[in-house]
Structure 1
């Protein structure tokens, strides 16, 4: 089963922009949820105890991993080298 990646972002967030560029350069498909654009996404972000952006939720074989911020090393381990 393919991993499902959801990325919570907001406008003008340099870390969000860098993450999206990195994801695209590594050909990783993801769903972007801008918390400013949609109040439902903002609620989901808070329900996940979001403390910073971007917030990346990775679902893989029934397990969910949450990464706060653009932690490239951790994301490489979770999404590229696995």
Structure 2
């Protein structure tokens, strides 16, 4: 199981809401970083994902490796959190 999940989002991102709804439906705990409220985190997101878009879901696994899912990619998200 995943160690820690962080969803990077913005106030107007519909796909971000879909990622959060999916995780909520699975009963999965996660942190939210709103880039509108914390713009200083944008460099961190870009460094980890190479993307200038949201949502970016960062999954830190028990073995300290990280998986990054960019956008609302449900098949990939489901496989990474399984």
Cα gap change, 1:39/1:51 in structure 2, threshold over 3 Å: closer, same or farther?
Answer: closer
How is 1:1-82 mapped onto 2 (pairs within 5 angstroms)? 2-48=2-48, 49-60=50-61, 61-80=63-82
Kept in 2: contact 1:5–1:57 (CA 8 A): yes
Q: CA deviation at 1:8?
A: 0.5
CA distance in 1, matches of 2:39, 2:11: 14
Q: List alignment gaps of at least 5 residues for structure 2.
A: none
Give the ranges of 4+ consecutive aligned residues of structure 1 lying more than 3 Å apart after TM superposition: none
Q: CA deviation at 1:75?
A: 1.0
Cα gap change, 1:56/1:2 in structure 2, threshold over 3 Å: closer, same or farther?
Answer: closer
Q: Secondary structure at the match of 1:29?
A: coil
Relative to the length of structure 2, the TM-score reads 0.86
CA distance in 1, matches of 2:41, 2:77: 22
Q: List alignment gaps of at least 5 residues for structure 1.
A: none
Cα gap change, 1:2/1:68 in structure 2, threshold over 3 Å: closer, same or farther?
Answer: closer
Q: CA deviation at 1:44?
A: 1.6
Relative to the length of structure 1, the TM-score reads 0.86
